[in-house]
Structure 1
C-alpha cells in the first residue's frame, strides 16, 4: 500500500466527517466504517500489511477523536478514549471488522 493510497483513503475518511458527529452511536459508526474498510482490508491485507497497519492506526485515532467529542469525560484525553475503545473491543469483538481480522 503506497503512501498515495493511504493519503487518498484518509482524505475520504476526513471528508465523511463521521468522527465529528457526536449524535452517532458506536454501532452506527461501526456500520459506516465496516462498509468502507472491509474491501481495503481484504485487498491490501494480502499485498502490504504494513501500510494497512498504518491506516488502521489512523482509524483508531479517529475513533478516539469521536469518543472525545461524544463523551465529556474523555475531553482532551486520548489515553482514556483509547482505554475505552479497548474495553469496547473486549466486550464486543465483532463490532468492527478490523477487530476480527487483527488481534
Structure 2
C-alpha cells in the first residue's frame, strides 16, 4: 500500500502496491510540488530482514576462512547475494545497496587476515579490494550491479 499525504491539508492518495507484510514501508518526504510537500511511504527492506541478512553474513565466517581464494568465496556467496538483491532490491534498491557495502568491508577484513602485508592495515586491504574490483568487476554478483568498493577510506 502506497500512501501519500500533503502537508498543506490536501487529500490522501491511496494506491495498492503490494501486501504490507511482504516488504515493510519506510517513511520519507517524497517530493515538493507547487508549494506542497508530500510525505510518503515506500517499500523497503525491514529491520528484521537486515538483521537476518547480517546474521547470515556473520555465519559465513570469512575471517576464519583464509585458506580460500577470493574466487572460491565468490562462488560460495554469489547465489545468496543474488537472491537478496532480486528479492529486496525490487522497490528500494538504493537502501539495499548501501547495506550490501558491508560485504565489501567483510572482504577487506578477510584480505587483512589472509595476506601478511595487510595485517593491521585495513585501508591498504580495502584499496587492494578496490583494485581487484576494477580488474575483475564480474567476480561478485553485487559488484556487477554497482555495489563495488568505493575509493573512500572505510576504516578510520
Query: Which of 27, 33, 49 is the equivalent residue of 1:5?
Result: 49
- Which gives a bigger RCO, structure 1 or 2 (Cα 8 Å, sep 6+)? 1
The answer to whether residue 63 in structure 2 is matched with residue 29 in structure 1 is: no
**TM-score scaled by length of structure 2:** 0.62
Give how far 1:42 is off.
Answer: 1.3
The answer to whether residue 67 in structure 2 is matched with residue 20 in structure 1 is: no
**Distance in 2 (alpha carbons) for counterparts of 1:57 and 1:89:** 13
Larger radius of gyration: 2
Is this contact kept in 1: 2:112–2:121, CA < 8 A? Answer: yes
Segments of structure 2 that go 5 or more residues without pairing to the other structure are 1-44, 149-156
Is this contact kept in 2: 1:34–1:96, CA < 8 A? Answer: yes
Q: Report the equivalent of 1:77.
A: 121
The structure where strand makes up a greater share of residues is 2
Query: In angstroms, what is the RMSD of aligned CA positions?
Result: 1.3
Query: Could you list the per-position Cα deviations for residues 14-56 of structure 1 after superposition, in whole angstroms to 9, with x for gaps in the alignment?
Result: 1221332110100000111201100111111112224312331
Greater shift in the superposed pair: 42-51 or 86-95: 42-51
**TM-score scaled by length of structure 1:** 0.91
Is this contact kept in 1: 2:74–2:139, CA < 8 A? Answer: yes
The structure where helix makes up a greater share of residues is 1
Give how far 1:100 is off.
Answer: 0.8
Give how far 1:67 is off.
Answer: 0.4
**Distance in 1 (alpha carbons) for counterparts of 2:57 and 2:85:** 15
Regions of 4+ moved over 4 Å = none
